[in-house]
Amino acid sequence: MTRIYVIDAGVLISTWTDKKKDASFITTPGIIQEVRNRLSKFRAETLFLLEKMQQREPSHDAIAYIESTATQTGDSSVLSKNDIDLIALAYMLKNEGFEPTLVSTDFAVLNTASQLNLPIIDPNDKFSQRITWGLKCPACNYKTKSRASSVECPVCGTTMRRTPLKKNKKS
Ligand SMILES: [Zn+2]
């Protein structure tokens, strides 16, 4: 099986891809459009020219699956369309028999991918725990597993905030 790195826009800002000499990279067309920084653009264009990187759209089925997983982990409110597509691409490649590793600096992306047991790399090495999010009332400390992005506290009516309910050490 072929190891393939599914890379986020933030990864192209760093020199991470430069260090992976014999690796294959893949990303989504949406992520490429997100790349604005000149050095990152140059890096992406070079990888395309060298045929070390491809771009591919994830399937609708994969996107729907990731959306439902992100709702369960509580990450859906902070994931962009591009984030969802990128995780869906990694998930789809895994189902096709590849060995995808998702490379991102975005904790919500890494968190959702790790819940799906997709291998992940944080080039900055800051992501260490996977988190299940819930809501907490800042006034009375009422907690709920509700995954809604914003909801009023049933006890005191204050707008509740996203809070980590459960942390698992990275496996
Ligand atoms: Zn409250």
Q: Helices 81-95 and 60-73, interaxial angle, to 10°?
A: 110
- Domain count of the chain? 2
Cα 25 from chain centre: 16
pLDDT number for residue 147: 67
138 Cα–ligand 1 center, Å = 7
Using the mean position of ligand 1's atoms as its centre, give its distance from the Cα of residue 169 in Å.
29
Domain match, 103 and 140 both: no
CA separation for the pair 66, 59 (Å, rounded)? 11
Same structural domain for residues 42 and 117? yes
Q: Are residues 153 and 82 in the same domain?
A: no
Same domain, 117 and 161: no
Name the 3-class secondary structure at 165.
strand
Question: H or E stretch including 84?
Answer: helix 81-95
Residue type, 8: D
Give the model confidence (pLDDT) of 124-151 as tens digits.
877 776 777 888 899 999 988 876 666 8
Q: Is 102 found in the same domain as 84?
A: yes
Containing domain of residue 116, as a range?
Answer: 3-121
13-24 pLDDT, tens digit per residue, is: 889 999 988 899
Segment 59-118, tens digit of pLDDT: 999 999 999 988 888 888 889 999 999 999 999 999 999 999 999 999 889 989 988 989
Over the stretch 30-63, which tens digit does the pLDDT of each residue have? 999 999 899 999 999 999 999 999 999 999 999 9
Based on the domain organization, do 49 and 22 belong to the same domain? yes
Task: Give the distance (Å) from ligand 1 centre to CA of residue 132.
Answer: 20
Distance from Cα 166 to the centre of ligand 1, integer Å: 20
**Ligand 1 center to residue 159 CA distance, Å?**
8
pLDDT score for 171: 44
Indicate whether 34 and 101 sit together in one domain.
yes
